[in-house]
Amino acid sequence: MPRRQQTPTTNIDPEWKKFEKFVRDVFIKVNFEDTIMRDDSWYRLPSGNQIDVFGGADKIAIVLDCATTNNPDGTRTLRDKINKTVQKKPGIEQAIDQKFDNKYTTKIFVICTKGINITDGDKTYAAQHQIKLIDCKFFEEARVFIKETPEQIKYQILKRLGQKIKFSSEDESFEPLLNQPTLKISSGDFVGYALVVPVSLLLRLAYVHRLEIDPIEGYQRKINIKKIIGINDFLMDSNNFFVNSILIALDQEPDISQIGVTHERIFNLKLPSEYASCEVIDGQHRLYGYVPLKKMTPEEKDVLRNRQNSDVLPIIAVVDREHKLRHRLFLDIDATQKPVDPIQIWTQYGKEHPEVERGYISNVLKKMDENGPLKDCIYKIGEAKQKKKIVTISFLGGVLEKTRLLNKEDTSSLVHRAFSSRKYPRDILSNDPSLKVLNDFLAAIQECSGINWPTGRYTTSLMKSSYGISIFLELFPYIKKQFEYQDLTLIKINFKKIFVKISDFLTETDNEGRVLWEKSTLTSAGTRRKALKHFVRKYLLTLPEWKDAQQFINIIK
């Protein structure tokens, strides 16, 4: 009888252990002292209670316990976890004093949750027992900035736990920069101060309460990493600078002294020499855009770091010791500030910033509007709105940006290695590689479906809209992945073979004879995604040229 083949076993850590390792790793990377590198004996107390995460700074010890929906210690609810922490606090405090010879005079006990809803009752109960509750989303968001700004993140964590930390000896050089001339602005009960602050200093002073990770005090939106990376690109050009002010709230009254007797509104203001003491109300992306998050060469990172040290940012500071004014100011700005028309932004990007991705996309689309399948069909700011202008530059630009088709750093894009320079070309030539491929792609759709965008001949309402064009543009990256084309020079795809059945898709009806895919039914991204998958499964994967259909379905999910 043949021997039964054994299935190899893999050592996969349970979720609670991965969570614990993640938070420990954060503490190590932000340079907390005495962090747990491994399960040393002192961390396991005689009672068997083990500390999950430990870190120290400035005589403050942080003892953190991780709580998930499946805790290894048998606790079933967050209230159980709090009670268990209360029970083991005395033993842990004694062990810390013995291990570190009374080095830490303040000990903070924290429960970090993952996948657990923290209620107001939980917060109140924990506070009664001097225990802090924090969601892991706080550390997940901080992780993005750890590599470039570890010390600042450390002090943000301490701030989140209610601690005030004075500047360390390493940052004493910033002391003279804390004194800034300021212009006093007042209207009714409102008093603000206009000043300029070096970026490097503001990165140490600033913090942000974000709604998703601190529902009690938070009100800000989550950091948009894509936006930060866009600002990284923007700041690579030394001529680019933000002239609009960042609004901050000071947690304490600053020292103010009048300059001269003839200037009633000009003062000298001393900012606090304390980490994370100024909350950013408006402008967090402009500030954190100076932190290099995108993939860069060492030389490019140096450009941003040098700008951190040399640039100053215009600031409006308000004093808000009771933490009441900042929420109202944020809502006032958000509710009354009319957003700029995205069509205007996309139209102007090509002119003002042609050497970044969005500017390049803008200029490619303008060329496509001059000649090709979409000639005179793309609406831009500064021209009359006509019926045949079926798609806006912002909608189509957003699709190309989302698909990363024109992102030169993406190895599967149309322009990877197409440009020798770090920047995109300022001018789009008629033989631009991506322009030709995109026009060929759209020309195949036009010919196979029997439509003509410039003349206004359509077979269905879907193709007379942005939605129809976007569905098939979103298909493009998957076609490239399926055929494993890595460079423009290798793209020899016969697009007509791919879209040979597009007419069947566009005219397909349901049981009652209604056309399935109409403009009116595909207004959301989700329904357009559904239509794309249907086209792939029913029509595209039946073509003889297509290989490994299941792999393609997995890619497009």
Structure-block tokens of residue 387: 């019926």
Structure-block tokens of residue 307: 């700008």
pLDDT at position 365 is: 94
Per the CB < 8 A criterion, the answer to whether 134 and 210 are in contact is no
Question: Which DSSP helix (H) or strand (E) runs through 496?
Answer: helix 495-498
pLDDT at position 8 is: 47
Residues composing the chain: 557
d(CA 143, CA 23): 10
d(CA 155, CA 97): 23
pTM score: 0.70
d(CA 173, CA 176): 7
Which bin fits 484, alpha (ψ -120 to 50), beta or left (φ > 0)?
A: left
Distance from the first to the final alpha carbon of the chain: 43
Burial bucket for residue 313 (CB in 10 Å: 0-12, 13-18, 19+): buried
Local confidence pLDDT in tens for the 557 residues of the chain: 444 444 444 556 778 888 888 999 999 999 999 987 655 555 666 555 678 899 999 899 999 999 887 776 666 788 989 999 999 899 899 889 988 999 999 999 999 998 888 887 888 999 999 999 988 888 888 888 888 889 889 998 999 898 988 888 788 888 888 999 999 888 887 889 999 999 999 999 998 865 444 444 555 667 888 889 889 988 988 888 998 899 999 988 888 888 766 677 888 999 989 999 999 989 999 999 999 988 888 888 999 999 999 999 999 999 988 888 887 888 777 766 667 788 888 998 888 888 888 999 999 999 999 999 999 888 887 666 666 688 889 999 999 998 888 988 887 788 877 776 667 888 888 778 788 889 888 888 888 888 888 887 776 777 777 888 888 888 887 777 665 544 444 445 567 777 878 888 888 888 888 888 887 777 788 888 888 888 888 877 776 656 555 555 554 55
Q: What are the CA-CA distances from residue 223 to residues 72, 115, 217 (Å)? A: 33, 21, 16
Q: Are strands 255-258 and 106-113 parallel, antiparallel or unpaired?
A: unpaired
The SS3 call for residue 352 is helix
d(CA 358, CA 366): 12
d(CA 55, CA 135): 17
Q: What are the CA-CA distances from residue 336 to residues 185, 209, 332 (Å)? A: 20, 21, 6
Per the CB < 8 A criterion, the answer to whether 424 and 360 are in contact is yes
Structure-block tokens of residue 204: 């140490």
d(CA 250, CA 272): 9
Domains and CATH numbers, the chain: 15-154 (3.40.1350.10), 169-336 (no CATH), 342-556 (no CATH)
Which bin fits 376, alpha (ψ -120 to 50), beta or left (φ > 0)?
A: left
pLDDT at position 335 is: 67
User: How many C-alpha atoms does 9 have within 13 Å on its Cβ side?
Assistant: 2
Instruction: List the beta strands (DSSP E) in 84-231.
Output: 106-113, 131-135, 179-187, 190-198, 206-207
In this structure, how many other beta carbons lie within 10 angstroms of the beta carbon of residue 20?
Answer: 23
Give the phi and the psi of residue 85 in degrees, each rounded to 5: -65, -40
